[in-house]
Amino acid sequence: MRHTDEATAPMGMMGMGHPPRKNLDIQQSNIMSSKLLRWGIASAGKISEDFVIAVGALPSTEHKVQAVAARSLERAQEFARKHEIPSSYGSYIELAQDKDVDVVYIGALNTQHYELSVLMLNHGKHVLCEKSLAMNRKQAEGIVAAAKVNKRFFMEAIWSRFFPSFQYVKELIATKKIGEIQAVEANLGFPMLEVERLQKRDLGGGVIYDLGIYAIQAIQWAFQEKPQKIEATGTLNAEGIDNDVSATLTYSGGRQAHLHLSSLEKLNNTAVITGTKGQPQLIDFYGPNILIDIDGNKKEWQPPQGKYPTNYTNTICLLYEAAAVRQSILAGETENQNVTHADSVLFAEIQDSLRKQVGVLNQYDEQ
């Protein structure tokens, strides 16, 4: 799962202007002429550390973590020493200006994703940004627009879709081995009331942002169309942040998906896709190594090994999406077909609808 423990300082729009176009073109040319992708890391929290560990398990001729930036130079330097990263910065604008960085991984809090993504894109960097991508659809559209204007690769880090298990389900759907999709059920919950980031409005809290993106993307992986109707109910904490949400999404032909999200209790954490010919089940579907196939048998994929243990379960598998980013950039693509720009905008739109119905609005909705 995605977790961060670093609150980034508000940056406003400072430093988000465009550098000279000539510099961007030179940098892009350098990327396309080299097979080595040089990563910059925006934030020095736990998920960023796991991403660095994952990248370190990929071939060193293909990936290099070149720089890290955090809200304090001391923290960035400590992170850099531990992971043998050449450059460290106490501000994100310095990372954006580092000519030796090709692509930036953003592992900061949800509330900082928009500003950091646009900052990096406007300085000629490709971007992989953690989920949930944005605080609302308007922000998601703004990030996508910046990627298009700057002709840079951008992807929301929906790591689940790059797991072999998700790719296997994609093949089952494409080849009609499960028949026509009839329904999807996705439940995801953990007792997380003590996780401050999840409970605070100013930290971008709530289960819709933190857990909902996993359920939404799994549902959309199956249906591949915009829901025609969304109905949601939920409970809020004392600060007005959602801690338990249930919803029904209705698609063409009256087909439906059901999701349940909770920070109050552990749920079965399984995504079940029901077709006319079969019903695959993704176990712990946020990062699934196990799948119950349509014949009822279990399929299991062994995760790769990293140099260090990761902070969170199975996050060594972040290397799958990192490898995909490199492949897309070397191919000259500005988006990856497993998580397109349109996908991310729709995810944000669905989250907006869920939040509105359960009564969770924030300052970004008013801007």
pLDDT of residue 366: 75
132 cis-preceded (ω within 30 degrees of 0):
yes
Q: Could you tell me the pTM of the whole model?
A: 0.91
Q: Could you give the strand order of the β-sheet that contains 87-89, starting from the edge strand earlier in sequence?
A: 87-89, 63-69, 37-42, 103-106, 126-129, 154-156
Torsion of CA 317, 105, 345, 16, to 10 degrees: 180
**Rounded average pLDDT over 118-124:** 98
Q: Which residues pair with 154 in a beta bridge?
A: 127
| Cβ–Cβ < 8 Å for 213, 351 | yes
Is the pLDDT confidence value at 17 over 70?
no
- Please give the single-letter amino acid code of residue 287: G
Is the pLDDT confidence value at 258 over 60?
yes
Q: Tens digits of per-residue pLDDT, 48-90?
A: 999 999 999 999 999 999 999 999 999 999 999 999 999 999 9
Q: Tens digits of per-residue pLDDT, 265-290?
A: 999 999 999 999 999 999 999 999 99
pLDDT of residue 279: 97
Give the integer Cα–Cα distance in Å for 67 and 27: 16
Is the pLDDT confidence value at 153 over 60?
yes
pLDDT of residue 362: 85
pLDDT of residue 19: 40
Give the integer Cα–Cα distance in Å for 105 and 86: 16
**Rounded average pLDDT over 343-358:** 98
Band of pLDDT at residue 171, cut at 50, 70 and 90: very high
